[in-house]
């Protein structure tokens, strides 16, 4: 009987140890949790202010966590566990985790991005990988962790802007729509030219007035559909004069477990 009790006790300790693979949820709650101390206090405050302001205006929570160990798991799983157990996001499951394990000695640095179910339409796995490879790792290789993390936050903000204000369009959607418009207008323009050349060759008047739709299509083609293209991310709209209150806490969770990770 004593041996059975000992085995059960060891099993409970083992389960408790597994449950503690990730840091405890911070008290008071914070969106920027630099456990690895890779940012200055000023950088940490600036990033926290921006992310709190974004949370206040959109309800989307971007949580940054830096650690010195993954405790035997992968960066993707570590970030997923934080999202689930901390409850990052709100009831819409609109949370995102940016996890960074800095490069220490000869060991590889590791980074992961995980998003809640409500963010998957805006920050896809492919886009998360792109953010890591193009916006984060180049800065990390220069030992500028703040720049890489801030770049990632701006990228996610740009992709998810307006996601929970009834606007389901993001920058990727805009780019795709822009490309479709260009293709349609180009095809119509080519057809119009073929038609016009055919009329001219057939002895028709080359000085005839264009119809409304012909003029409309040509005008849209030349003006790019009335839209101007910005960068892929959209950037952050927060000015230096923006102020916000303290972070109110988490209240979501339910992460998909996909995301992306990278090493350098």
More confident residue, 86 or 161: 86
Average pLDDT score, the chain:
73
Helices and strands in the chain, H and E counts:
8, 5
More confident residue, 90 or 244: 90
- Does the structure show a pLDDT above 50 at 220? no
More confident residue, 97 or 196: 97
Bridge partners for 112 per DSSP: 99, 261
- Does the structure show a pLDDT above 80 at 60? yes
The answer to whether the pTM exceeds 0.85 is: no
Give the pLDDT mean for 224-241. 36
CB count, 10 Å around CB of 148? Answer: 25
Buried b (16+ CB within 10 A) or exposed e, 107-135: eebbbbbbbbbbbbebbbeebbeebbeeb
**Structural domains in the chain plus CATH codes:** 21-161+238-263 (3.10.310.50), 171-226 (no CATH)
Collapse the DSSP code of 61 into the 3-class scheme (helix H, G, I; strand E, B; otherwise coil) and give the result: strand
Instruction: With beta carbons less than 8 A apart as the criterion, state whether 88 and 94 touch.
Output: no
Q: Which of 1-15, 41-55, 229-243 has the lowest mean pLDDT?
A: 229-243
More confident residue, 161 or 154: 154
């Amino acid at each position: 009987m004593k041996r059975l009790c000992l085995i059960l006790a060891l099993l409970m300790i083992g389960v408790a140890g597994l449950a503690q693979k990730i840091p405890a949820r911070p008290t008071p709650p914070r969106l920027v949790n630099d456990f690895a101390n890779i940012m200055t206090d000023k950088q940490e405050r600036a990033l926290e202010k921006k992310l709190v302001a974004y949370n206040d205006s959109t309800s989307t929570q971007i949580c940054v966590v830096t650690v010195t160990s993954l405790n035997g798991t992968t960066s993707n799983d570590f970030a997923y566990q934080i999202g689930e157990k901390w409850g990052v996001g709100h009831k819409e499951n609109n949370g995102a985790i940016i996890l960074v394990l800095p490069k220490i000695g000869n060991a590889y640095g590791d980074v992961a991005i995980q998003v809640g179910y409500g963010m998957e339409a805006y920050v896809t796995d492919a886009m998360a990988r792109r953010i890591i490879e193009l916006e984060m790792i180049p800065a990390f290789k220069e030992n500028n962790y703040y720049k890489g993390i801030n770049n990632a936050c701006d990228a996610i903000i740009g992709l998810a802007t307006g996601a929970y204000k009834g606007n389901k369009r993001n920058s990727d959607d805009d780019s795709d729509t822009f490309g479709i418009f260009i293709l349609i207008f180009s095809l119509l323009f080519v057809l119009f030219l073929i038609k016009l050349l055919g009329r001219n060759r057939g002895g028709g008047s080359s000085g005839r007035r264009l119809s409304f739709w012909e003029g409309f299509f040509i005008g849209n083609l030349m003006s790019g559909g009335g839209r101007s293209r910005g960068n892929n991310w959209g950037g952050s709209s927060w000015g230096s004069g923006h102020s916000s209150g303290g972070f109110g806490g988490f209240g979501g969770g339910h992460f998909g477990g996909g995301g992306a990770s990278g090493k350098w």
